[in-house]
Amino acid sequence: MGSVTYDFAGETVIVTGGSSGIGRAVALAFGGAGATVINADVRRDPKDVDADTPTDEAVDATAGRGEYVETDVSDPAALSAVVEAAHEFGGVDVMVNNAGWYNQASLFETAPEEFERIHAINAGGAFFGCRAAAADMIDRGVAGTIVNTASISSSHAQRDQISYDATKGGVKMITRGAALELADHGIRVNAVAPGQIATEFGTSVAEKEAAVDAGDMAKPIPLDRLGTPDDVAGAVLFLASDAAGYVTGELFYVDGGWQIY
């Protein structure tokens, strides 16, 4: 099969939640393509068991440049601040609103403060991340790109995660609404929708692998394996690149075919 390479040299990319998991893979992929990558996360140290250096240092070891800005995406002012910080490197060209939080609770078990927190991080982080990046792109006259991290839960309800599903459904519509409003400025907005990915987000990798092996899932995965963070990173780079220049407002599933059924 053929291989794909991307060139983001001279561009600045912000990745929220870039310290671990999917965000770290996305940051490293953009670094490998020559970008300056700002990891905007509440913590610098990775949580991945196989990662022993912060993402910004790992990016420095690629063709790109890595930076870290402590960022709580539930705070709109913090998102504006990290976009402002990108001016040191020419300003944001690609915004990846990836940071997220997961809770597992039923309709009756979800506490009001948990509901508010998960919406502030997942939906609010995407909404205000889009707004801060887009406002800066418009001010600078840059036709940049925005990629949000949605989920298979954007379209499919799963038991005992009603509040999480609600936030990811919100990310889907934030993506479409922003794409519509920003099209006149040449700014494209899309989202990736990961399925079961081999990260510690939500449940452990071991638990996810056991569920796949046992067929103990809400629906089977046609490709019969967990996805990897790199699988998602490849989709993000595609959507951010000129190869997707006529694509906006899309929800791009990266789920091994899970949504087919």
> What are the catalytic residues?
164
Residue 154's φ and ψ, nearest 5 degrees, are: -65, -25
**Pair 114, 164: CB distance under 8 Å:** no
Helix (H, G, I), strand (E, B) or coil at 66: strand
> How many Cα atoms sit within 13 Å of 203 on the Cβ side?
12
Neighbours of 162 (CB within 10 A): 19
Helix segments in 3-123, DSSP class H: 21-32, 55-60, 76-85, 112-118
Burial of 203 (0-12, 13-18, 19+ CB in 10 A): middle
**DSSP state letter for 10:** T
* H or E segment and range at residue 131: helix 124-140
CA distance 72 to 79: 8
Amino acid found at 56: D
Neighbours of 159 (CB within 10 A): 9
Neighbours of 5 (CB within 10 A): 7
Cα-Cα end-to-end distance for the chain = 27
Question: In sequence order, which residues have a C-beta less than 8 Å from that of residue 242 and are 6 or more positions away?
Answer: none
